[in-house]
Structure 1
Amino acid sequence: KMCSMILNDCYGQNLDVDPVVIFSMGSKTCGLSRHYKSEMTIQFVEVVPTKPLKKLTQEQIDKLLCNIYDMDAWMKALPPDAFEIHGIVGVNLVDVTKEETLSRLRQHLLKKDALTSRENIEYIQSLLRDYFQLPDLRFGIMAMDYPVNKDRNDNRYGIQHCLIDRWQDCRLADENHQSIYAKAARFGHNVLLENMEWVKAPTQAEKTLMKKGFKSYLVAPLKGKEDRIIGLMEIGAERPFAINSFTELQLHDLMALFHTALERSREETDNRIEAIMRDQFTAIHPSVQWRFIDAAFDIMSQQQKGIINPATPDIAFESVYPMYAQADIVNSSITRNHAIQQDFIKNLQLLEEVLSVANEKLDYPLLEQYLLETRQKLTELEQNLDTSDEHQLMDYILLEVHPVLEEVVRQNAILMEAYRNYTG
Structure 2
Amino acid sequence: MSDFYKKDTPFQVYISFKKYLDVLEHIRYNDRLEYRVNYAESLIEKTKNFRELRDGFQDISLLEKSEDLIRLLLADLFPTGLTHNEIKAAGIPLSNVTFNYTERFKSILKDAGKDFEIELRNIDDDEFYVFCCCLILQAYFKRDIKSTLPLYYDIPNRQGIMKHYKISVNVDFTEVYPTEDARIPSEEVIDMLLENLDDYRLWKKYFPSKSWVLKGFSIISLVDCTSEVALSDLKSSMIRIDPENIKPDENLKEIFKSYFDVAQLSFGLMLFNGKDQRLEKLPIYENVFTNYILDFWINTFDSETRKKTFINLNHNSKPIVVSNIENLDHEIKSLPSFGILRDNEINSFMVIPIMKDNELIAIMEFTSPIPNSFNGLKLKKIEFFTDMILFSLNRFSFEKNYQIEAIIQREYTTIHDSVVWKFRNEAEKYFNASLGKKYIR
Same fold at TM > 0.5:
yes
Counterpart among 33, 36, 54 of residue 162 in structure 2: 33
Counterpart among 47, 57, 61 of residue 176 in structure 2: 47
Larger radius of gyration: 1
Structure 2 matches for 1:207-218, cutoff 5 A? 207-218=339-350
- Aligned counterparts of 2:370 and 2:437: Cα–Cα separation in 1: 43
- Aligned counterparts of 1:136 and 1:179: Cα–Cα separation in 2: 33
Q: Do the aligned residues in 1 keep the contact of 2:350 with 2:367 (CA within 8 Å)?
A: yes
Q: Do the aligned residues in 2 keep the contact of 1:216 with 1:242 (CA within 8 Å)?
A: yes
Counterpart among 230, 248, 269 of residue 141 in structure 1: 269
Counterpart among 404, 413, 425 of residue 273 in structure 1: 404
Q: How much does 1:32 deviate?
A: 1.4
Report whether the alignment pairs 1:196 with 2:328: no
Q: How much does 1:289 deviate?
A: 4.5
Q: Matched residues, percent identical?
A: 21
Aligned to 1:43, the other structure's residue is in SS state coil
Report whether the alignment pairs 1:163 with 2:292: yes
Counterpart among 234, 238, 261 of residue 365 in structure 2: 234
Mind listing any 5+ residue stretches in structure 1 that lack a counterpart? Answer: 308-424
Q: How much does 1:105 deviate?
A: 0.8
- Aligned counterparts of 1:182 and 1:137: Cα–Cα separation in 2: 30
Counterpart among 119, 122, 131 of residue 259 in structure 2: 131
Aligned to 2:351, the other structure's residue is in SS state strand
Q: Deviations over 1:248-278 (max 9, x none)?
A: 1112212222222222222222222233334
1:110 aligns with 239
1:340 aligns with none
2:375 aligns with 244
Q: How many residues get paired?
A: 300
Q: How much does 1:294 deviate?
A: 2.0
Relative to structure 1, is the Cα distance of residues 181 and 62 closer, same or farther in structure 2, using a 3 angstrom cutoff?
A: same
One-letter amino acid of the structure 1 residue matched with residue 378 of structure 2: T
Structure 2 matches for 1:319-330, cutoff 5 A? none
Counterpart among 90, 94, 97 of residue 219 in structure 2: 90
- Aligned counterparts of 2:279 and 2:175: Cα–Cα separation in 1: 65
Report whether the alignment pairs 1:221 with 2:350: no
- Aligned counterparts of 1:191 and 1:183: Cα–Cα separation in 2: 14
Q: How much does 1:102 deviate?
A: 0.8
Q: Do the aligned residues in 2 keep the contact of 1:176 with 1:182 (CA within 8 Å)?
A: no
Q: How much does 1:229 deviate?
A: 0.4
TM-score w.r.t. structure 2 length?
0.57
Q: How much does 1:89 deviate?
A: 0.9
Moved more, 270-279 or 235-244: 270-279
Report whether the alignment pairs 1:300 with 2:431: yes
- Aligned counterparts of 1:179 and 1:30: Cα–Cα separation in 2: 42
Structure 2 matches for 1:273-292, cutoff 5 A? 273-281=404-412, 282-285=414-417, 288-292=419-423
Higher RCO (C-alpha under 8 Å, 6+ residues apart): 2
2:151 aligns with 21
- Aligned counterparts of 1:280 and 1:156: Cα–Cα separation in 2: 25
2:52 aligns with none
One-letter amino acid of the structure 2 residue matched with residue 104 of structure 1: D
Q: Do the aligned residues in 1 keep the contact of 2:182 with 2:212 (CA within 8 Å)?
A: no
The structure whose residues are more often helix, as a share, is: 1
- Aligned counterparts of 2:370 and 2:389: Cα–Cα separation in 1: 25
Aligned to 1:189, the other structure's residue is in SS state coil
1:261 aligns with 392
RMSD after superposition = 3.8
Aligned to 1:109, the other structure's residue is in SS state helix
1:173 aligns with 302
Relative to structure 1, is the Cα distance of residues 268 and 61 closer, same or farther in structure 2, using a 3 angstrom cutoff?
A: closer
Q: How much does 1:197 deviate?
A: 3.0
2:133 aligns with 3
Q: How much does 1:85 deviate?
A: 2.6
- Aligned counterparts of 1:273 and 1:168: Cα–Cα separation in 2: 28
Q: How much does 1:180 deviate?
A: 9.7
One-letter amino acid of the structure 1 residue matched with residue 164 of structure 2: H
Q: Deviations over 1:363-408 (max 9, x none)?
A: xxxxxxxxxxxxxxxxxxxxxxxxxxxxxxxxxxxxxxxxxxxxxx
One-letter amino acid of the structure 2 residue matched with residue 192 of structure 1: V
- Aligned counterparts of 2:326 and 2:312: Cα–Cα separation in 1: 18
Q: How much does 1:231 deviate?
A: 1.2
- Aligned counterparts of 2:168 and 2:303: Cα–Cα separation in 1: 57
TM-score w.r.t. structure 1 length?
0.59
Q: How much does 1:172 deviate?
A: 5.3
One-letter amino acid of the structure 1 residue matched with residue 214 of structure 2: I
Q: Do the aligned residues in 2 keep the contact of 1:188 with 1:221 (CA within 8 Å)?
A: yes
Q: How much does 1:239 deviate?
A: 2.7
- Aligned counterparts of 2:144 and 2:429: Cα–Cα separation in 1: 65
